[in-house]
Amino acid sequence: MRLEAWLRMPPTPLVRRRLWLRMAPAVVVVARTRESRRVTRRLSFSPSGRGDRAPLAPAVTLRRTFREFWPGTRGLRRLFAAGAVFAILAALCEVAAIGLFGHITDEVLTTRNLAAFWAPASMWLGLAAVAGLASFGGTYLTALGAERFLLKLRDRVFAHVQTLTPDYFENRRLGDLMARLTDDIEAIEELVGSGVVKLITTVASVVFFAGAAFYVRWDLALVTLALVPAFLLVSKIFASRFRTAAARERRSNGAMNSVIEESLANQPLVQAYNRQNNESVRLNREGQGWLRANLSQAWLSGMYGPLVQVLETVCLIIVLGFGAWQIAQGRLTLGGLLAFAAYLAMLYPAVQSLGQIALTVSEAAAGSDRVLEILDARPAVTDRPVAVPLISRSRGRVEFDDIGFTYPNRRRPTLSHLSFVAEPGELIVCTGPSGSGKSTLTKLLLRFYEPSAGRILLDGVDIRDVTRASLRENVTILHQESMLFSGSVRENIAYGRSGASLDDVIRAAELAGVHDFISTLPRGYETPLGQRGRLVSGGQRQRIAIARALLRDAPVLVLDEPMTGLDEATAARVMAPLRRLMAGRTTILITHDLRHVPVEARRIVLEPTRRVDRIRIRRLGVPV
Ligand SMILES: Nc1ncnc2c1ncn2[C@@H]1O[C@H](COP(=O)(O)OP(=O)(O)OP(=O)(O)O)[C@@H](O)[C@H]1O
């Protein structure tokens, strides 16, 4: 009668999962942590989808992923090992607890002997306490290792990204790069860090629960375990499909981030041009692709679950039938059968979890492809092995000697046969029509690109023979659009020189003619400037940037259209601080606007020829 009641217990996935969550917390908790992160990740990014436009990152083998990222677990392996040990201990407690449950059924419930209840019941309670503590230890230590691994890996990839020359970013969408630095890095952690712990604890659980099932009734266990390869086969079939779907999801996620990033950054333009709908359509289009990618993942997951469920049900029916027959034969007790069924109830999710690990691996591999693609990228310009740092502050003599340059993705040269010398402290004005290569000249001086012909000399030394870091210490650039960060005014000015004191910052601000304005701000030098310094006007931004450049105090100065976007009165106000900044420095002033240019300045005119593919340089020494 009791057996019948037990037989009526519905072996639904929910019941099994609840049982699993209750009985094997150590194993499941690791999985839950990762699952919640994945959900968060999905929610935190909106759909993209025309991922089809961007090529998928190249597929890499699992071995390469481990070869590349496993060294990153150095220093954390003890944490992961301890996490695994605790999780295994918790699983062992569960095995013992089920044994006690069988014992209580046979010795207390069947015989109605209450006296025999208390000893095993107290042991069960003790085991539950140990399992709880071990589960907590396993979860916490694994999470600690995982988060530290993530931090290290993100720092490593970000540091590498910062070695890449600007052309790398010019050819990529920032949103996609951000997705790689966040989501994809997490996916790698799920494979290389906590993924390994999960694999070990799940395998251990399979061994324990299978071993216990064999111990109770080896022949019954043999029959049911014969179906395990079927579980693994199903996982294998699904894994490759899941990987493709995951790669699409990763890629479309990146595309969607790009749209969001661009739209939010350009909101003033979007609203001024009434293009809100257009942006929404763009996001929706990318979202459609993301939706498709997620639906195909959901389809696969949806298929996978029921298939495994059918297999489980087949196993359960076999157990019940065979078990009932063995009880009738007197070869198995009711407690034995219940314990056996409980072991199976633990074993199946563990086996299923093994299959899910295969799916996680697929998803992680897709993320790993995308991160490795970044790590494989090499900067277009590197220091020569023989490059040495500039020992002292340069005098500031800059020479362009027959320079030619073609952008990597262009056929026609942007500059050819460009030669000029700027003596220390001299002001050179560089003019010419739009697109004639004025800003390109700056990129070459800072070694963002390598000239295709000729050489650039600083104090007579080829800049390729000095390290880029020391070269850039000697050159300050003031961009067309003042680049500010979202920090305070003080932080933005102090960016010019690490370790600058507040007094240094105030002195620079006074010279830049912006101190009075800063004093009127609500929190003075501590006032935040807003995203990209949008909380202050163009002229104020420019003068803050001048203060930063003053603090940097490099002997060579490049001013790239410093008056762009400023009205006549503001431009005149900016000119005085600019003159103070230029004083005593070799200055290359790139400008279309010659109204504020000092009359004594020498001019270089970059002039595209009519055939456009050659640029003729006219060098004039005539004062304006
Ligand atoms: N990263 C790049 N890749 C390919 N071509 C580029 C790149 N940057 C600039 N160019 C091209 O090189 C040419 C020169 O550009 P550059 O920005 O140096 O011109 P400019 O004289 O400073 O123009 P403007 O006065 O409008 O700022 C242009 O035809 C431009 O399209």
328 neighbors 91 (Cβ within 8 angstroms): no
Ligand 1 binding pocket includes 593 (Cβ within 6 Å): no
Question: Closest ligand 1 atom to the C-alpha of 441?
Answer: 18
Q: What is the value of pTM for the model shown?
A: 0.71
Distance CA 114, CA 110 (A): 10
What's the confidence (pLDDT) of residue 11?
33
Query: Within this chain, do residues 43 and 134 fall inside the same structural domain, yes or no?
Result: yes
Ligand 1 binding pocket includes 438 (Cβ within 6 Å): yes
Q: 443 CA to middle of ligand 1, Å?
A: 10
What pLDDT, in 10s, does the model give residues 486-500? 788 898 899 888 888
What's the confidence (pLDDT) of residue 565?
64
Query: Within this chain, do residues 281 and 344 fall inside the same structural domain, yes or no?
Result: yes
Mutate to test the pocket of ligand 1, among 165, 439, 559 (most ligand atoms within 8 A of CB): 439
Going by pLDDT thresholds of 50, 70 and 90, the confidence category of residue 611 is very low
Residue nearest atom 1 of ligand 1, based on CA coordinates:
167
CATH number at residue 537: 3.40.50.300
What's the confidence (pLDDT) of residue 362?
73
**Dihedral over Cα of 422, 423, 424, 426: its sign:** negative
Ligand 1 binding pocket includes 406 (Cβ within 6 Å): no
Query: Within this chain, do residues 390 and 286 fall inside the same structural domain, yes or no?
Result: no
Per-residue pLDDT at 53 exceeds 50: no
Quick check: is 479 in a domain? Answer: no
**Dihedral over Cα of 462, 464, 468, 470: its sign:** negative
461 neighbors 395 (Cβ within 8 angstroms): no
What's the confidence (pLDDT) of residue 71?
92
Ligand 1 binding pocket includes 409 (Cβ within 6 Å): yes
Distance CA 381, CA 252 (A): 31
CA-to-CA dists, residue 446 to 91, 346, 455, 471, 528, angstroms: 60, 63, 13, 7, 30
Which of 241, 245, 231 minimizes the C-alpha distance to 202?
Answer: 231
Best mean pLDDT range from 15-24, 108-117, 513-522:
513-522
Average pLDDT, the chain: 80
Query: Within this chain, do residues 468 and 615 fall inside the same structural domain, yes or no?
Result: yes
Split into its structural domains, the chain has a count of 3
Which of 190, 187, 210, 188 minimizes the C-alpha distance to 199?
Answer: 190
Distance CA 221, CA 201 (A): 21
**HEC string of 52-68?**
HHCCCCCCCCHHHHHHH
Distance CA 235, CA 240 (A): 9
What pLDDT, in 10s, does the model give residues 192-236? 888 889 899 999 999 999 899 899 888 888 887 777 788 778 877
Distance CA 617, CA 134 (A): 76
Which range among 70-79, 444-453, 594-603 shows the weakest confidence by mean pLDDT?
594-603
Average pLDDT over residues 541-570: 83
The residue segments making up the domain with residue 180 are 2-376
Query: Within this chain, do residues 447 and 537 fall inside the same structural domain, yes or no?
Result: no
**Dihedral over Cα of 35, 37, 43, 48: its sign:** negative
Pairing of strands 427-431, 602-608: parallel
Quick check: is 413 in a domain? Answer: yes
Per-residue pLDDT at 12 exceeds 50: no
Ligand 1 binding pocket includes 437 (Cβ within 6 Å): yes
Query: Within this chain, do residues 53 and 92 fall inside the same structural domain, yes or no?
Result: yes
Quick check: is 436 in a domain? Answer: yes
Q: 482 CA to middle of ligand 1, Å?
A: 18
Which range among 215-229, 388-402, 460-474 shows the weakest confidence by mean pLDDT?
215-229
What's the confidence (pLDDT) of residue 265?
76
Query: Within this chain, do residues 609 and 489 fall inside the same structural domain, yes or no?
Result: no
Per-residue pLDDT at 7 exceeds 70: no
What pLDDT, in 10s, does the model give residues 261-295? 878 877 767 877 778 888 899 899 989 988 998 89
- Give the DSSP H/E element, type plus range, for residue 462: strand 461-462
Question: Closest ligand 1 atom to the C-alpha of 171?
Answer: 1
What pLDDT, in 10s, does the model give residues 139-191? 999 999 999 999 999 999 999 998 888 888 887 888 788 888 888 898 888 88
Determine phi and psi for 138, rounding to 5 degrees.
-60, -45
Ligand 1 binding pocket includes 407 (Cβ within 6 Å): yes
**HEC string of 521-587?**
CCCHHHCECCHHHCCCCHHHHHHHHHHHHHHHCCCEEEEECCCCCCCHHHHHHHHHHHHHHHCCCEE
CATH number at residue 326: 1.20.1560.10
What's the confidence (pLDDT) of residue 453?
92
Going by pLDDT thresholds of 50, 70 and 90, the confidence category of residue 55 is very low
Q: 617 CA to middle of ligand 1, Å?
A: 16
Residue nearest atom 13 of ligand 1, based on CA coordinates:
435
Question: Closest ligand 1 atom to the C-alpha of 436?
Answer: 21
Query: Within this chain, do residues 193 and 213 fall inside the same structural domain, yes or no?
Result: yes
Q: 407 CA to middle of ligand 1, Å?
A: 9
Q: How far apart are the first and last CA of the chain?
A: 109
Tracing tokens 């502050």 back to the chain, one arrives at 393
Question: Which ipTM score applies to this complex?
Answer: 0.97
Distance CA 87, CA 138 (A): 5
Going by pLDDT thresholds of 50, 70 and 90, the confidence category of residue 300 is confident
Which range among 21-25, 355-359, 485-489 shows the weakest confidence by mean pLDDT?
21-25
What's the confidence (pLDDT) of residue 58?
57
